[in-house]
Structure 1
């Protein structure tokens, strides 16, 4: 799945003066790798922790995601220092619909970073990319992500069960639509 046309990476960061959402760069990779091993990150995200092989191909996979229109992988950075404090992505289902996925690095959780970044990305997706609808799926047990969706104006539209090997989990599905 994805868009029928490539997405141009952001030429300027999206910012609210506190956080910035910008393209990923090589200096971000150590922080992304470290956070990928955090137990809460492993618990809530589908991606396995980053190993050396994944790190070595990370930027080429990011470029491919943009070029193919499959995703827009970005970094959440401190707007003043440019220090990476999380990751955020749009994963395109088609030309009109994308899913928002994000993770704030452990040392910066609980500081309101995720809602700020999600609002920035939502505005960009709906206003600049012409998306009709953004979806956000959060494990029902991940109360922090459920609160982020609600704070950002996403409306709960249901849930779905996702099979994960020997077990399953319930994802709460939220939507934010243009207009």
Structure 2
């Protein structure tokens, strides 16, 4: 029996010096709505939320109903939830996953996202025994490429015309794929 999902479920909270990566709660709706309703924050990740009620519904259906590998990013200093980070498309058989994240624009430029992603990477390889982690971003999202490269991910390929933009249905997005393998992680 593969114990990856059990292992993920057994470790719902990860911690860094400044951050708690913890399950998202319904009470996080106001903090989440603050950044998830902002097009500048969400434009490369998902369509902005329109209301607090929609945010609560999304928390219930996507984070409470399916919490495995999904974390709210909370600042320890003020207990504010300022972003989300997750393992997506977890494959138990191959022990692989894709990482995804978003951060309130008011907290950018402080090294928070590399700190959170490095914790996800370290825990992923050390505790969860992943074989590889994939990161995908819209080629126009240069901030995401910097975070991914800072955390040791290596360029794989570029996929033109991979999907439609969340806001401009006439724009086809070129996605860029990066991977970090357990071998790359251990030699990093």
TM bracket (short chain): 0.7 to 0.9
Change (3 A) 1:132 1:34: same
| Of 144, 160, 176, the match for 1:172 | 176
Q: Secondary structure at the match of 2:9?
A: coil
Q: Secondary structure at the match of 2:135?
A: strand
TM-score, normalised relative to structure 1:
0.85
TM-score, normalised relative to structure 2:
0.81
**1:15–1:79 CA contact under 8 A, matched in 2:** no
- Determine the structure 1 residue equivalent to 2:73: 76
Question: How many residue pairs end up in the alignment?
Answer: 172
RMSD of aligned alpha carbons: 2.2
**1:42–1:49 CA contact under 8 A, matched in 2:** no
Unaligned runs of 5+ in 1: none
- Determine the structure 2 residue equivalent to 1:123: 122
**2:39–2:48 CA contact under 8 A, matched in 1:** no
Unaligned runs of 5+ in 2: 184-188
Runs of 4+ off more than 3 Å: 3-7
Deviation at 1:5, TM superposition (A): 4.5
Distance 2:14 2:42 in 1: 27
**2:24–2:59 CA contact under 8 A, matched in 1:** no
- Determine the structure 1 residue equivalent to 2:16: 16
**1:24–1:59 CA contact under 8 A, matched in 2:** no
- Indicate the larger mover: 157-166 or 50-59: 50-59
Q: Deviations over 1:16-55 (max 9, x none)?
A: 2122211112222111112111122231113442542451
**1:76–1:84 CA contact under 8 A, matched in 2:** yes
